[in-house]
Protein backbone atom coordinates (compact mmCIF):
# COMPACT_ATOMS: atom_id res chain seq x y z
CA UNK A 1 0.00 0.00 0.00
CA UNK A 2 1.25 3.49 -0.81
CA UNK A 3 2.69 5.62 1.95
CA UNK A 4 0.73 8.59 0.69
CA UNK A 5 -1.77 9.49 3.36
CA UNK A 6 -5.20 8.79 1.98
CA UNK A 7 -8.21 10.79 3.18
CA UNK A 8 -10.79 8.70 4.97
CA UNK A 9 -13.53 9.63 2.54
CA UNK A 10 -11.50 8.03 -0.27
CA UNK A 11 -10.75 4.81 1.57
CA UNK A 12 -13.21 3.00 -0.66
CA UNK A 13 -12.18 4.28 -4.05
CA UNK A 14 -14.49 3.78 -6.98
CA UNK A 15 -13.44 2.48 -10.40
CA UNK A 16 -11.94 5.09 -12.68
CA UNK A 17 -14.68 4.50 -15.25
CA UNK A 18 -17.30 6.19 -13.05
CA UNK A 19 -18.58 9.68 -13.98
CA UNK A 20 -16.92 11.07 -10.84
CA UNK A 21 -13.43 10.15 -12.02
CA UNK A 22 -14.15 11.08 -15.63
CA UNK A 23 -15.06 14.53 -14.35
CA UNK A 24 -11.85 14.58 -12.28
CA UNK A 25 -9.77 13.84 -15.37
CA UNK A 26 -11.45 16.63 -17.31
CA UNK A 27 -11.06 19.08 -14.43
CA UNK A 28 -7.37 18.30 -13.93
CA UNK A 29 -6.66 18.58 -17.66
CA UNK A 30 -8.51 21.89 -18.01
CA UNK A 31 -6.77 23.33 -14.95
CA UNK A 32 -3.40 22.37 -16.45
CA UNK A 33 -4.31 24.04 -19.74
CA UNK A 34 -5.36 27.13 -17.79
CA UNK A 35 -2.01 27.18 -16.01
CA UNK A 36 -0.16 26.93 -19.34
CA UNK A 37 -2.12 29.90 -20.67
CA UNK A 38 -1.39 31.91 -17.53
CA UNK A 39 2.34 31.18 -17.60
CA UNK A 40 2.49 32.05 -21.32
CA UNK A 41 0.89 35.44 -20.64
CA UNK A 42 3.15 36.02 -17.65
CA UNK A 43 6.35 35.25 -19.53
CA UNK A 44 5.78 37.76 -22.29
CA UNK A 45 4.24 40.63 -20.34
CA UNK A 46 6.00 41.06 -16.98
CA UNK A 47 8.49 43.75 -17.91
CA UNK A 48 9.11 47.24 -16.63
CA UNK A 49 10.28 48.92 -13.45
CA UNK A 50 7.31 47.68 -11.38
CA UNK A 51 8.71 44.12 -11.55
CA UNK A 52 12.34 45.02 -10.84
CA UNK A 53 13.03 44.20 -7.19
CA UNK A 54 15.93 42.67 -5.21
CA UNK A 55 14.24 39.28 -5.79
CA UNK A 56 13.77 39.57 -9.55
CA UNK A 57 15.40 36.81 -11.57
CA UNK A 58 16.70 36.82 -15.12
CA UNK A 59 13.99 36.03 -17.67
CA UNK A 60 15.63 33.18 -19.67
CA UNK A 61 16.17 31.08 -16.53
CA UNK A 62 12.65 31.82 -15.29
CA UNK A 63 11.34 30.74 -18.70
CA UNK A 64 13.42 27.55 -18.57
CA UNK A 65 12.19 26.80 -15.04
CA UNK A 66 8.56 27.03 -16.11
CA UNK A 67 9.19 25.09 -19.30
CA UNK A 68 10.61 22.20 -17.26
CA UNK A 69 7.79 22.47 -14.71
CA UNK A 70 5.00 22.41 -17.30
CA UNK A 71 6.70 19.66 -19.31
CA UNK A 72 7.10 17.46 -16.22
CA UNK A 73 3.46 18.10 -15.30
CA UNK A 74 2.45 17.03 -18.82
CA UNK A 75 4.43 13.81 -18.32
CA UNK A 76 2.59 13.32 -15.01
CA UNK A 77 -0.79 13.66 -16.72
CA UNK A 78 0.23 11.46 -19.65
CA UNK A 79 1.45 8.70 -17.36
CA UNK A 80 -1.65 8.96 -15.22
CA UNK A 81 -4.17 8.85 -18.06
CA UNK A 82 -2.50 6.95 -20.91
CA UNK A 83 0.10 4.60 -19.41
CA UNK A 84 -1.37 1.10 -19.61
CA UNK A 85 0.90 -0.12 -16.79
CA UNK A 86 -0.90 2.15 -14.30
CA UNK A 87 -3.59 0.15 -12.55
CA UNK A 88 -7.06 1.61 -12.15
CA UNK A 89 -6.59 1.48 -8.36
CA UNK A 90 -3.42 3.57 -8.48
CA UNK A 91 -5.02 5.94 -10.95
CA UNK A 92 -7.94 6.35 -8.57
CA UNK A 93 -5.51 7.03 -5.71
CA UNK A 94 -3.81 9.84 -7.62
CA UNK A 95 -7.09 11.38 -8.73
CA UNK A 96 -8.50 11.28 -5.21
CA UNK A 97 -5.40 12.33 -3.27
CA UNK A 98 -3.19 14.42 -5.53
CA UNK A 99 -5.75 15.57 -8.09
CA UNK A 100 -7.62 18.20 -6.04
CA UNK A 101 -4.41 19.90 -4.85
CA UNK A 102 -2.94 19.85 -8.37
CA UNK A 103 -6.13 21.35 -9.81
CA UNK A 104 -6.29 24.08 -7.17
CA UNK A 105 -2.61 24.87 -7.67
CA UNK A 106 -3.10 25.27 -11.42
CA UNK A 107 -6.10 27.56 -10.96
CA UNK A 108 -4.27 29.67 -8.39
CA UNK A 109 -1.27 29.84 -10.70
CA UNK A 110 -3.38 31.20 -13.56
CA UNK A 111 -4.95 33.90 -11.41
CA UNK A 112 -1.59 34.82 -9.91
CA UNK A 113 -0.17 35.30 -13.43
CA UNK A 114 -3.21 37.36 -14.39
CA UNK A 115 -3.16 39.72 -11.41
CA UNK A 116 0.65 39.96 -11.37
CA UNK A 117 0.56 40.89 -15.04
CA UNK A 118 -2.06 43.56 -14.25
CA UNK A 119 0.16 44.85 -11.40
CA UNK A 120 -2.49 44.03 -8.78
CA UNK A 121 0.26 42.95 -6.43
CA UNK A 122 -1.74 42.71 -3.19
CA UNK A 123 -4.29 40.35 -4.77
CA UNK A 124 -1.56 38.29 -6.42
CA UNK A 125 0.31 38.05 -3.10
CA UNK A 126 -2.80 36.69 -1.37
CA UNK A 127 -3.20 34.12 -4.15
CA UNK A 128 0.42 33.02 -3.73
CA UNK A 129 0.00 32.54 0.02
CA UNK A 130 -3.19 30.51 -0.47
CA UNK A 131 -1.50 28.31 -3.06
CA UNK A 132 1.52 27.90 -0.80
CA UNK A 133 -0.78 26.60 1.95
CA UNK A 134 -2.43 24.27 -0.56
CA UNK A 135 0.94 22.84 -1.58
CA UNK A 136 2.08 22.52 2.04
CA UNK A 137 -1.04 20.50 2.78
CA UNK A 138 -0.21 18.18 -0.12
CA UNK A 139 3.41 17.93 1.05
CA UNK A 140 2.85 17.25 4.74
CA UNK A 141 -0.61 15.65 4.81
CA UNK A 142 -0.43 13.30 1.84
CA UNK A 143 3.37 12.98 1.84
CA UNK A 144 4.22 12.72 -1.86
CA UNK A 145 7.85 12.75 -0.71
CA UNK A 146 7.32 9.23 0.69
CA UNK A 147 6.93 7.63 -2.76
CA UNK A 148 9.71 5.02 -2.97
CA UNK A 149 9.85 4.24 -6.69
CA UNK A 150 12.27 6.71 -8.30
CA UNK A 151 10.35 7.03 -11.57
CA UNK A 152 7.08 7.65 -9.75
CA UNK A 153 8.80 10.13 -7.44
CA UNK A 154 10.08 12.05 -10.47
CA UNK A 155 6.71 11.99 -12.23
CA UNK A 156 4.50 12.76 -9.21
CA UNK A 157 6.32 14.48 -6.36
CA UNK A 158 8.67 16.60 -8.48
CA UNK A 159 6.13 18.16 -10.90
CA UNK A 160 3.10 18.28 -8.60
CA UNK A 161 4.72 19.27 -5.30
CA UNK A 162 8.46 20.02 -5.45
CA UNK A 163 8.77 22.45 -8.36
CA UNK A 164 5.53 24.39 -7.66
CA UNK A 165 6.36 24.63 -3.94
CA UNK A 166 9.81 26.09 -4.64
CA UNK A 167 8.35 28.56 -7.13
CA UNK A 168 5.58 29.73 -4.78
CA UNK A 169 8.07 30.25 -1.98
CA UNK A 170 10.24 32.36 -4.27
CA UNK A 171 7.31 34.23 -5.83
CA UNK A 172 5.95 35.24 -2.41
CA UNK A 173 9.12 37.27 -1.82
CA UNK A 174 9.34 38.64 -5.35
CA UNK A 175 5.66 39.60 -5.40
CA UNK A 176 5.92 40.92 -1.84
CA UNK A 177 8.77 43.20 -2.84
CA UNK A 178 6.56 44.52 -5.64
CA UNK A 179 3.79 45.20 -3.09
CA UNK A 180 6.11 47.42 -1.06
CA UNK A 181 7.63 49.06 -4.16
CA UNK A 182 11.11 47.72 -3.43
CA UNK A 183 12.53 48.65 -6.82
CA UNK A 184 16.25 48.92 -6.00
CA UNK A 185 15.97 52.67 -5.43
CA UNK A 186 16.28 52.84 -1.64
CA UNK A 187 18.73 51.40 0.86
CA UNK A 188 16.29 50.01 3.46
CA UNK A 189 14.41 47.63 1.11
CA UNK A 190 17.72 46.28 -0.16
CA UNK A 191 19.00 45.73 3.39
CA UNK A 192 15.80 43.86 4.27
CA UNK A 193 16.17 41.81 1.09
CA UNK A 194 19.74 40.94 2.15
CA UNK A 195 18.23 39.40 5.30
CA UNK A 196 15.14 37.74 3.85
CA UNK A 197 17.06 36.06 1.04
CA UNK A 198 18.61 33.64 3.55
CA UNK A 199 15.18 32.08 3.96
CA UNK A 200 15.95 30.33 0.67
CA UNK A 201 18.69 28.45 2.47
CA UNK A 202 16.72 27.74 5.65
CA UNK A 203 13.59 26.18 4.10
CA UNK A 204 15.22 23.96 1.42
CA UNK A 205 17.93 23.01 3.93
CA UNK A 206 15.30 21.98 6.47
CA UNK A 207 13.49 19.82 3.90
CA UNK A 208 16.80 18.23 2.93
CA UNK A 209 17.69 17.40 6.53
CA UNK A 210 14.25 16.32 7.76
CA UNK A 211 12.86 14.58 4.66
CA UNK A 212 15.80 14.06 2.31
CA UNK A 213 13.90 16.05 -0.32
CA UNK A 214 16.37 17.35 -2.87
CA UNK A 215 13.72 18.54 -5.34
CA UNK A 216 13.02 21.82 -3.53
CA UNK A 217 16.76 22.34 -2.97
CA UNK A 218 17.59 21.93 -6.65
CA UNK A 219 14.66 24.08 -7.75
CA UNK A 220 15.55 26.82 -5.30
CA UNK A 221 19.19 26.79 -6.40
CA UNK A 222 18.08 27.45 -9.99
CA UNK A 223 15.79 30.29 -8.94
CA UNK A 224 18.45 31.88 -6.73
CA UNK A 225 21.05 31.56 -9.49
CA UNK A 226 18.60 33.46 -11.68
CA UNK A 227 18.23 36.13 -8.99
CA UNK A 228 22.00 36.38 -8.63
CA UNK A 229 22.55 36.96 -12.34
CA UNK A 230 19.79 39.54 -12.58
CA UNK A 231 20.93 41.47 -9.51
CA UNK A 232 24.53 41.42 -10.74
CA UNK A 233 23.51 43.27 -13.90
CA UNK A 234 21.24 45.64 -11.97
CA UNK A 235 23.68 46.62 -9.21
CA UNK A 236 27.20 45.19 -9.16
CA UNK A 237 28.26 46.91 -5.94
CA UNK A 238 25.72 45.17 -3.71
CA UNK A 239 25.37 42.13 -1.48
CA UNK A 240 22.14 40.72 -2.93
CA UNK A 241 23.65 39.01 -5.96
CA UNK A 242 26.53 37.66 -3.86
CA UNK A 243 24.16 36.21 -1.26
CA UNK A 244 21.97 34.75 -4.02
CA UNK A 245 24.92 32.99 -5.65
CA UNK A 246 26.20 31.66 -2.32
CA UNK A 247 22.76 30.31 -1.36
CA UNK A 248 22.27 28.80 -4.83
CA UNK A 249 25.62 27.02 -4.55
CA UNK A 250 24.96 25.69 -1.04
CA UNK A 251 21.46 24.48 -1.96
CA UNK A 252 22.83 22.76 -5.05
CA UNK A 253 25.70 21.03 -3.23
CA UNK A 254 23.50 19.88 -0.34
CA UNK A 255 20.93 18.54 -2.81
CA UNK A 256 23.64 16.62 -4.68
CA UNK A 257 24.89 15.11 -1.41
CA UNK A 258 21.40 14.07 -0.31
CA UNK A 259 20.56 12.70 -3.77
CA UNK A 260 23.63 10.48 -3.98
CA UNK A 261 23.51 9.39 -0.34
CA UNK A 262 19.88 8.37 -0.83
CA UNK A 263 20.78 6.45 -3.99
CA UNK A 264 23.60 4.63 -2.19
CA UNK A 265 21.26 3.67 0.66
CA UNK A 266 18.73 2.28 -1.82
CA UNK A 267 21.42 0.17 -3.48
CA UNK A 268 22.93 -1.08 -0.21
CA UNK A 269 19.73 -1.54 1.77
CA UNK A 270 17.91 -4.68 0.71
CA UNK A 271 14.45 -4.52 2.29
CA UNK A 272 12.34 -7.59 3.03
CA UNK A 273 9.56 -8.31 0.55
CA UNK A 274 6.87 -7.54 3.12
CA UNK A 275 8.38 -4.11 3.77
CA UNK A 276 8.61 -3.40 0.05
CA UNK A 277 4.95 -4.25 -0.36
CA UNK A 278 4.02 -1.92 2.50
CA UNK A 279 6.01 0.87 0.83
CA UNK A 280 4.67 0.28 -2.68
CA UNK A 281 4.66 3.40 -4.85
CA UNK A 282 1.55 5.27 -5.79
CA UNK A 283 1.89 4.27 -9.45
CA UNK A 284 3.04 0.89 -10.70
pLDDT tens by residue, 28-71: 999 999 999 999 998 887 666 778 899 999 999 999 999 999 99
pLDDT at 6: 52
Is the confidence at residue 283, as pLDDT, over 70? no
pLDDT tens, 2-39? 445 554 444 444 455 567 777 888 999 999 999 999 99
Q: Find, among 71, 77, 81, 82, the residue nearest to 36 by Cα.
A: 71
Minimum mean pLDDT range among 15-24, 31-40, 112-121, 240-249: 15-24
Average pLDDT over residues 80-87: 78
Mean pLDDT confidence for 92-110? 92
Give me the number of domains the chain comprises. Answer: 1
Tell me, yes or no, whether 278 lies in a domain: no
pLDDT above 90: percentage of residues in the chain: 61
What pLDDT does residue 1 have? 37
Would 3 be classed as within a structural domain? no
Q: What is the pLDDT of residue 107?
A: 98
Distance CA 59, CA 62 (A): 5
pTM of the shown model: 0.87
Sorted by sequence, the CB contacts under 8 Å of residue 237 that are 6+ apart come out as: none
Angle at 134 between CA 132 and CA 138, to 5 degrees: 115
d(CA 7, CA 177): 37
Check residue 36 and give its pLDDT: 97
240-273 b/e (C-beta count within 10 Å ≥ 16 → b): bbebbbbbbebbbebbeebbeeeeeeeeeeeeee
Whether 276 has a pLDDT exceeding 70, the answer reads no
**Helix, strand or coil, per DSSP, at residue 179:** helix
Reported as a pLDDT band with limits 50, 70 and 90, residue 280 is very low
Task: Evaluate whether residue 93 is within a structural domain.
Answer: yes
Residue 172 lies in a domain: yes
Residue 124 lies in a domain: yes
Top pLDDT among 187 and 62 is at 62
Closest C-alpha to 174, from 107, 128, 219:
128
State residue 162's pLDDT score: 96
Q: Residue 272's pLDDT is what?
A: 46
Q: Determine, yes or no, domain membership for 280.
A: no
Q: Is residue 279 part of a domain?
A: no
Summarize the confidence of residues 120-134 as an average pLDDT: 97
- pLDDT over threshold 60, residue 116: yes
The range of the structural domain enclosing residue 259 comes to: 10-271
Over residues 227-233, the mean pLDDT reads 95
Q: What is the mean pLDDT of residues 214-218?
A: 96
**Does residue 281 lie within any of the structural domains?**
no
Count of CA atoms in the C-beta half-sphere (13 A) of 202: 6
On average, the pLDDT of the chain sits at 86
Question: For the residues 100-113, what does the mean pLDDT come to?
Answer: 97
Question: Given this model, what pLDDT does residue 151 score?
Answer: 85
| 60 vs 82: CA distance, rounded Å | 32
Q: Residue 17: its pLDDT value, please?
A: 54
What secondary structure letter does DSSP report for 158?
A: I
Amino acid sequence: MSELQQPEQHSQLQPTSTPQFSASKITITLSYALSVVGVSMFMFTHSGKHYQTPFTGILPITFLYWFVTLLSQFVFLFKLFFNSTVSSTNQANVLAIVGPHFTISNIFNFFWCWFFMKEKFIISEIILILNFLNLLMLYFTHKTISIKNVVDWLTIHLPVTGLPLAWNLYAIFWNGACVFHSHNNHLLPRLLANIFIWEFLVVPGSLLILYGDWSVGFATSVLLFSVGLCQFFIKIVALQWIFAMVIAGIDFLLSIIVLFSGAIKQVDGAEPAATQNEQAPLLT
